[in-house]
Chain A
């Protein structure tokens, strides 16, 4: 499998994603600079975390106009596997590839801690190796993770199983107390209607090998690999 990791000025999790895909997953991985216009025929694309363009104006708002994003949009429209992590998720929202918007955390703090998330949809290309309802411990590190959308869109997300991850407590209970940032409906990650685009705020690439004492994040990357090896069409 060939995986592309897009590098924007200010990305800082690009090398971690590269490491997990190349070294842990053992797949050919390419770092693709945002000024490039071709995705080089890769089989999956990751928009990594970081602070693209210094988070100026709004998180992800300027990165969405990088030259590579035209290719990313075409690729997503053709059903390509596309994962946005943290700032990558914010870019997907700004680019309109996923619905909604990110807003300042409710407590205004930059939150850097382990969070528990419940896998609400285990049949996406990025969660198929998880059990439905499984609780994952994944680190979060963001100041703008307070997901918002209007009530019509939220209902559609709920009805179409587009909510992929929700913040929960250690036992999988989705409660206001387990919501670290004020995100609407405890949303930590969503998918598009077609199912090939997923965005999440937590960082699976930071917990994907034994050395780090947490391998929950590896499931996301293994799911992506499985989706490539055994493609299935899911709603």
Chain B
């Protein structure tokens, strides 16, 4: 089973990287961009076929290491058998 984990900055946390990308897009002529927020995508291969177990593993790894709860949120998708 594969997990796609998205780690993003919490709402309200200043995102200097997103701002820089936003400005660059504006400079390039993409005038219809309102805002950019940047995050991380992690693809984790799990040696697990049980959906519930996989889910609890992914949650636990996010809480312990992959996201910093002070500034980041996480969400995930579980894919395939």
Residues of chain B at the chain A interface (Cβ within 8 Å) = 13-14, 16-17, 20, 65-66, 68, 70-71
Contacts and interface: CB of A to CB of B under 8 A. Distances in A.
A178 B52 CA distance: 51
Given A101-B71, A103-B71, A148-B71, A57 B17 contact: no
Interface of A: 57-58, 61-62, 65, 93-94, 100-101, 103-108, 146, 148-150, 182
Contacts of A61: 65, 68
B69 to A, nearest CB: 9
Contact of B16 (A65, A100, A101, A104): A104
Given A93-B70, A103-B13, A148-B70, 15 more contacts: A61-B65, A94-B68, A100-B70, A101-B68, A101-B70, A101-B71, A103-B71, A104-B16, A104-B17, A106-B14, A107-B16, A146-B14, A148-B13, A149-B70, A150-B70
Nearest to B42: A57
B58 to A, nearest CB: 16
Contacts of B65: 57, 61-62, 65
A65 B16 CA distance: 28
B64 to A, nearest CB: 9
Nearest to B64: A65
Contacts of B17: 104, 108
Contacts of A94: 68
Nearest to B9: A103
A108 B68 contact: no
Contacts of A104: 16-17
B32 to A, nearest CB: 24
